[in-house]
Amino acid sequence: MPPGTGRADPYRVWLSEVMLQQTTVAAVKNYFIRFTTLWPRVEDLAAAPDAQVMAEWAGLGYYARARNLLACARAVAASGGGFPDTRAGLLTLPGIGPYTAAAIAAIAHDAPETVVDGNVERVVARLFAVQTPLPAAKPELTALAARLTPRTRPGDYAQAMMDLGATICTPRSPACALCPLSDMCDARAQGIAPELPRRAPKAPKPQRTGIAWVARSADALLLEERPAKGLLGGVLAFPSTGWDGREMPPPCPADWRHLGEVRHVFTHFNLSLTVMAGDLAGPATRGRLVPLRQFDRSALPGLMRKVWDMARDQVKQ
DNA sequence: AACACGTGGGA
DNA sequence: TTCCCAAGTGT
């Protein structure tokens, strides 16, 4: 597509922007290709089964995005009119917040909306030498960014600002010598570009523990969908305790063997998960048996892939 | 307003 | 190893 023509497919813009929330381009790339191949139009995605979408999203993280993605696709498909073409209209859809609404309006519809993501926050904080720490500085940075937004080619401008932040005006060692805006950058003039934006100190991550059980029955594994809300909501997993230190019985009788500990880092805590494996020796109280032939490691979230990788040799013999 | 919510890569 | 943090949203 030629630059500035505002003809990007809103469906693809929306899908990529949602995938890119808090996620790097490298991590998103193959997921985007896979989703657009399976579901070329928003109506196709809307018609997909929940479990398939969750399985395809597995590994990308922030699973509420996948649940909202499907809800949004179904709302758009049901409306029959495609995606809204205004920021305000987009904002009413699940999973579309201020950033994504502005990005779709600017990139797909060439609307003069101001797109503010982490990159733009950093670029603007440096251009104007904003000393207020994030996240309190957000409104101030948004207002400053709005003053910069051009009326022509706002979509290209938005992508250029994000690219500048991603490649030149980077968090640690900004390449000011290569920056086209260095002449007008207050932080550069003051020699404090690498220190901005300032951030409020963050709380240390608590350490949590739990147990995951890998149970085999003949040629099947005991798995369950996690509850729709909360951590890893709606995604496939091995039965486990809550990760609050409370006791919980295993999901079925078995002669459990201790395989080891899996460590995993979540946004707000560290987890050490004890992996137990055994042969199902009676009825299960949770989960369902998934034939090994149907089992697909890629349908598991990252944590559960680690659990499986530890248990697979034991289970598959 | 503050917190919940994944993961992987770079320094 | 450890820390930082990346194209945020929902509650």
pLDDT tens column, A270-311: 999 999 999 999 999 999 999 999 999 999 999 999 999 999
Asked whether A82 and A73 are in contact (CB, 8 A), the reply is no
Query: CA A130 – C1' C9 distance (Å)?
Result: 25
Show which positions of strand C are touched by protein (CB under 7 A). Answer: 4-10
CA-to-CA distance for A297 and A249, rounded, in angstroms? 25
| pLDDT tens-digit readout, A139-178 | 999 999 999 999 999 999 999 999 999 899 999 889 999 9
Strand nucleotide closest to residue A203 (CA to C1'): B3
**A200 sits within 7 Å of strand B by its CB:** no
Chain A residues 207-236, Cβ below 7 A from strand B: 230-233
Tokens of A175: 């390449």
Query: Residue A150: which of A193, A113, A189 has the closest Cα?
Result: A113
Mapping DSSP to helix (H, G, I), strand (E, B) and coil, where does residue A82 land?
A: coil
Q: Is A147 helix (H, G, I), strand (E, B) or coil?
A: helix
Å: A161 CA to B11 C1': 24
Residues in contact with strand C, defined as Cβ under 7 Å from any of its atoms: A 16-17, 20-25, 62, 64, 68, 94-101, 103, 117-119, 122, 159, 162-163, 165-166, 171, 199, 202, 265, 267
- Which domains does chain A show, CATH number per domain? 1-113 (1.10.340.30), 114-202 (1.10.1670.10), 207-316 (3.90.79.10)
Q: Which helix H or strand E contains A119, and what residues bound it?
A: helix A118-127
pLDDT at res. A245:
80
CB proximity list for A194: less than 8 A, separation 6 or greater: A172, A173, A174
C-beta atoms surrounding A72 within 10 Å: 25
Identity of the amino acid at A107: I
Burial class (CB in 10 A: 0-12, 13-18, 19+), A265: exposed
Question: Cα(A76)–Cα(A46) distance, rounded to whole angstroms?
Answer: 8
| Mean per-residue pLDDT, A218-226 | 95
User: At A213, phi and psi to the nearest 5?
Assistant: -110, 125
Clarify whether A261 is annotated catalytic. no
Q: pLDDT tier at A4 (50, 70, 90 boundaries)? A: low
Using the CA of A305, give the nucleotide whose C1' is nearest.
B7
Amino acid (one-letter) located at A174: P
Average model confidence (pLDDT) for chain A?
93
Torsion of CA A106, A112, A117, A120, to 10 degrees: 130
Q: What is the pLDDT of residues A234-281, one digit of tens each?
A: 999 999 999 888 889 999 999 999 999 999 999 999 999 999 999 999
Confidence of residue A90 (pLDDT cuts 50, 70, 90): very high
Q: What is the CA radius of gyration of chain A?
A: 23
CA A15 to chain centre: 12
- A 119-148: CB within 7 Å of strand B: 136
Query: For A172, which DSSP code?
Result: S
Question: Which member of A17, A56, A113, A121 is catalytic?
Answer: A17
